[in-house]
Chains A and B, each alone.
Chain A
Amino acid sequence: MMNRKLKRSLLFWLCLSPIIVVILFPYAVMTITSLKSATEVLNPTWWPEELHWQNFSEMWQTSGVGSALANSLYVSTLSTALTIIVSIPAAYALSRYEFAGRNAYRQFLLVSQMLSPIVLVIGLFRLVANAGMIDNLNVLVIIYTGFNIAFCVWMLQSYFSTIPRDLEEAAWMEGANRWRTLRSVFLPLAVPAMVVTAIFTFINAWNEFVIALTMLRKEENYTLPIRVLSLVAGRYTVDWHYVMAAAFVASVPVAILFAWLQRYLVRGLSIGAVK
């Protein structure tokens, strides 16, 4: 049995290896470049002559990445939470109730995704400026939530629909009300879908650039993408080793999030427990 699993593992890793190589290639480029010295950075060598770890500390001090990291964490976490909070009821309604306008609402959500943020930015900015809310991180939270609702509702609704109704009905029989059933039976089953939507929202908020740049003013409010991209975009010279170091740092929290959340992508024991 163990032997079979080992064989299977080898086979799977072999199948995955081409794509993993392609995925790791830009990471390798990034990591290696971030460790090169200023004089070596332009040479396309794969093995730097010496490893310049100080690039990271120098980048940290000069580029203001620290406070940007905190801002990005704030915005991303809040928009993730808010998105999930407003998406769950909507998805629940779509999957459990028949009501007039149900399909129309689903399609409206899709329509809300169809204008590219680059296009929306002028209109959004005028709206925010009229409301006098420029340079406010909370505005970003609301806008990001608005952008991510469509995916989250669709994803959750599709998933909710796979959860058999009789599970809930059994709970109602035992005298639990709708809210309790939702909390103790339904939602635990939907954890994988919530994880997918959480990852999605968090990453979108973490990486968004155009809207953040347009809405924010003071340097202390800047989010990470603004900081990282301003190291590259249109300067007369680009310190590639610092850029790559900053990009590396920016990707670490997300990688940690992946590591933490990926295990919840498997439907847990809960389903067995309920049955």
Chain B
Amino acid sequence: MTFRQKLGLLAGASIVAFSSSAFADSTVRVTIAEYSKGTGPYFQEAAKAFEAANPDVKIQIEVVPWDSLQQKLTTDISAGANADLSIIGTRWLLDYVSEGIVAPLDEHIKPEFKARFIDTFLTPSVMNGKVYGLPIAASARAMYYNKDIFAKAGISAPPATWADFKTDAEKIKKLGSETYGFGLQGKEIETDVYFYYGMWSNGGEIVKDGKSGLDSKAAIETAKLYKSFIDGGLTQPGVTSYSREDVQNLFKQGKVATVITAPFLSGQIKTEAPKLNYGVAPIPAGPNGDKGTYGVTDSIVLFENSKNKEAAWKFLDFIFTAEQRTKFDKIEGFLPVNAEEAKDPYFADNADLKVFTSLLPNARFAPVIPGWEDIAKTTSNAVQKIYLGQGEAEATLKEAAAKINATLK
């Protein structure tokens, strides 16, 4: 064989190698967003267990970092190369539904299956009367407070109202060490939500009658309240450089006395700051007793163009059994979405989690509106301007509200 012939053969072989990567027909591909280092291994294990019971189906788990999930889904869908199932933020679901990209699940859902869920968590994925996703992850927000710092400042209980909270924060400031009463998030994902906590307490809403609530009296007062915390030195300095993880870290280090965040912080504290003496309390109420917390779910959806809908559904049915859900939520520190699972002593007897579940009746989920990310971004930009003192509260919020109203149309 001459050199040239060999070369030709090699080229031919590599083309064969290229084209052999097509997916087998009975394979169900699942795009998984990585919540923690336990996410990938959990799903791999679940897939194996499922395959053992259903030898005719193969599950292929494709783990994607959260930050890249939107980019990955966009490119995948644009080329029609998306998986059969994927985790997405429920707040994006409407955009997927209105483009006809995800399939309704109702034909598969038997009453027995529906009865597994706690209603609060299933409703956000229901649109136009149809179920378009199942709540793979659920959480809510509450206020973590550092009992030792509170005690040192002579405060006996977590603040019931924002007015109490401000007095408490001032007492903590008087301690003189570099400790701050209010851990305020001002950067990246959920900067807007951190602002809504106060806004809800003041009786405001994100969207009311199809219009942004950002120019309401409640929103403006909240902005002024937060700004007074910042100006008074009651928050950590430079709030616009602290993302949610950063503020949580400050809390673990005892540098801020409070942080409003999700149940998974309890698990992190257990391994990273086991000596921290903390409690979990509801988010403070407003002057009229209004309260609110943020409820979030992520959904797992079935794509309309999936060729394996039956097999994919079987897998969904499997991972939403009480046994699988319990395993997953324990690993991730999420709230149980499954009524059976919630009875597990791990959840039922957990003091921290009880606070979170008790707040659920007041939980606001992201409203069903198109372009949620656009609105979140506009809101975050506006509150960052206010935190930095680059814009006056009322004018900045009114401008943002006008922009959001244009998006909502």
A and B: direct contact (Cβ < 8 Å)? yes
A residues within 8 Å of B by Cβ?
A: 38-39, 41-43, 62-63, 121-122, 125-126, 129-136, 138-139, 210, 213-214, 217-219, 226, 229-239, 242
B18 proximity list for chain A (CB < 8 A): 131-133, 136, 138-139
Contact among A136, A219, A231 with B21 in the assembled complex (CB-CB below 8 Å)? A136
- Whether B21 lies near A134 (C-beta < 8 A) is yes
B249 on the A face (CB < 8 A): yes
- Whether A229 lies near B262 (C-beta < 8 A) is no
Q: CA A217 – CA B252 in complex, angstroms?
A: 36
* Contact (A229, B65) CB under 8 Å given A63-B37, A235-B35: yes
Contact among B17, B36, B65, B75 with A233 in the assembled complex (CB-CB below 8 Å)? B65
6 new A-B contacts at CB < 8 Å, known A129-B80, A138-B18, A214-B71: A42-B249, A43-B253, A126-B79, A138-B14, A214-B72, A238-B245
Shortest Cβ gap from A212 to chain B (Å): 11
B33 proximity list for chain A (CB < 8 A): 234
Shortest Cβ gap from A125 to chain B (Å): 5
* Per-residue interface assignment for chain B, residues 16 to 31, with 1 indicating a CB less than 8 Å from any chain A CB and 0 otherwise: 0111011000000100
Q: CA A232 – CA B63 in complex, angstroms?
A: 14
- Whether A214 lies near B249 (C-beta < 8 A) is no
Query: Which residue of A has the minimal Cβ distance to B37?
Result: A62
Q: CA A229 – CA B69 in complex, angstroms?
A: 13
Shortest Cβ gap from B40 to chain A (Å): 7
- Whether B37 lies near A239 (C-beta < 8 A) is yes
Q: Indicate the size class of the contact surface on chain B.
A: 35 or more
B148 on the A face (CB < 8 A): no
B81 proximity list for chain A (CB < 8 A): 125, 129, 134
Shortest Cβ gap from A127 to chain B (Å): 9
4 closest Cβ pairs, A-B complex: A234-B66, A233-B67, A234-B67, A233-B65
Segment of B203-211, B268-276, B348-356 engaged in the interface with chain A: B268-276
Q: CA A139 – CA B249 in complex, angstroms?
A: 41
In the complex, chain B residues 56-76 whose Cβ is within 8 Å of any chain A Cβ: 60-69, 71-72, 74-76
Query: Which residue of B has the minimal Cβ distance to A126?
Result: B79
Q: CA A121 – CA B332 in complex, angstroms?
A: 32
A131 proximity list for chain B (CB < 8 A): 18
B189 proximity list for chain A (CB < 8 A): 234
- Whether A235 lies near B66 (C-beta < 8 A) is yes
* Contact (A38, B66) CB under 8 Å given A236-B35, A236-B36: no
Shortest Cβ gap from A184 to chain B (Å): 20
B372 on the A face (CB < 8 A): no
A130 proximity list for chain B (CB < 8 A): 79
Q: CA A39 – CA B249 in complex, angstroms?
A: 11
Contact among A132, A139, A231 with B37 in the assembled complex (CB-CB below 8 Å)? A231
Query: Which residue of A has the minimal Cβ distance to B36?
Result: A235
- Whether A230 lies near B65 (C-beta < 8 A) is yes
Query: Which residue of B has the minimal Cβ distance to A118?
Result: B71
In terms of DSSP, what is the predominant structure of the interface of chain A?
loop
A242 proximity list for chain B (CB < 8 A): 37
Contact among A125, A139, A213, A235 with B79 in the assembled complex (CB-CB below 8 Å)? A125
Shortest Cβ gap from A135 to chain B (Å): 5
What are 18 contact pairs spanning A and B, CB under 8 A? A121-B71, A121-B75, A125-B81, A131-B18, A133-B21, A134-B21, A136-B17, A138-B14, A213-B65, A213-B71, A217-B29, A230-B34, A233-B66, A235-B65, A236-B35, A236-B36, A236-B262, A237-B245
* Contact (A236, B17) CB under 8 Å given A42-B272, A126-B78, A129-B81: no
Q: CA A263 – CA B171 in complex, angstroms?
A: 64
Q: CA A131 – CA B66 in complex, angstroms?
A: 28
Interface contact tally, CB-CB below 8 A: 110
Select the residue from A133, A138, A236 with max chain B CB neighbours within 10 A: A236
- Whether A217 lies near B62 (C-beta < 8 A) is yes
B44 proximity list for chain A (CB < 8 A): 219
Contact among B62, B67, B72 with A219 in the assembled complex (CB-CB below 8 Å)? B62
Query: Which residue of B has the minimal Cβ distance to A236?
Result: B264
B71 proximity list for chain A (CB < 8 A): 121, 210, 213-214
Q: CA A91 – CA B144 in complex, angstroms?
A: 64
Query: Which residue of A has the minimal Cβ distance to B22?
Result: A132
B272 proximity list for chain A (CB < 8 A): 38-39, 41-42, 237
Select the residue from B66, B81, B245 with max chain A CB neighbours within 10 A: B81
- Whether A218 lies near B60 (C-beta < 8 A) is yes
- Whether A132 lies near B78 (C-beta < 8 A) is no
- Whether A132 lies near B60 (C-beta < 8 A) is no
B248 on the A face (CB < 8 A): yes
Select the residue from A139, A219, A242 with max chain B CB neighbours within 10 A: A219
Shortest Cβ gap from A134 to chain B (Å): 6
- Whether A125 lies near B36 (C-beta < 8 A) is no
Q: CA A160 – CA B272 in complex, angstroms?
A: 57
A217 proximity list for chain B (CB < 8 A): 29, 60, 62
Contact among B37, B76, B274, B333 with A39 in the assembled complex (CB-CB below 8 Å)? B274
* Per-residue interface assignment for chain B, residues 236 to 276, with 1 indicating a CB less than 8 Å from any chain A CB and 0 otherwise: 00000000010011001100000000101000100111100
Shortest Cβ gap from A40 to chain B (Å): 9
- Whether B29 lies near A213 (C-beta < 8 A) is no
Shortest Cβ gap from B266 to chain A (Å): 11
B245 proximity list for chain A (CB < 8 A): 236-238
Shortest Cβ gap from B238 to chain A (Å): 15
B29 proximity list for chain A (CB < 8 A): 217
Query: Which residue of B has the minimal Cβ distance to A235?
Result: B36
Shortest Cβ gap from B185 to chain A (Å): 14
- Whether B75 lies near A122 (C-beta < 8 A) is yes
- Whether B37 lies near A219 (C-beta < 8 A) is no
B253 proximity list for chain A (CB < 8 A): 42-43
- Whether B68 lies near A42 (C-beta < 8 A) is no
Shortest Cβ gap from B118 to chain A (Å): 21
B76 proximity list for chain A (CB < 8 A): 125
- Whether A132 lies near B268 (C-beta < 8 A) is no
Contact among A43, A135, A219 with B63 in the assembled complex (CB-CB below 8 Å)? A219
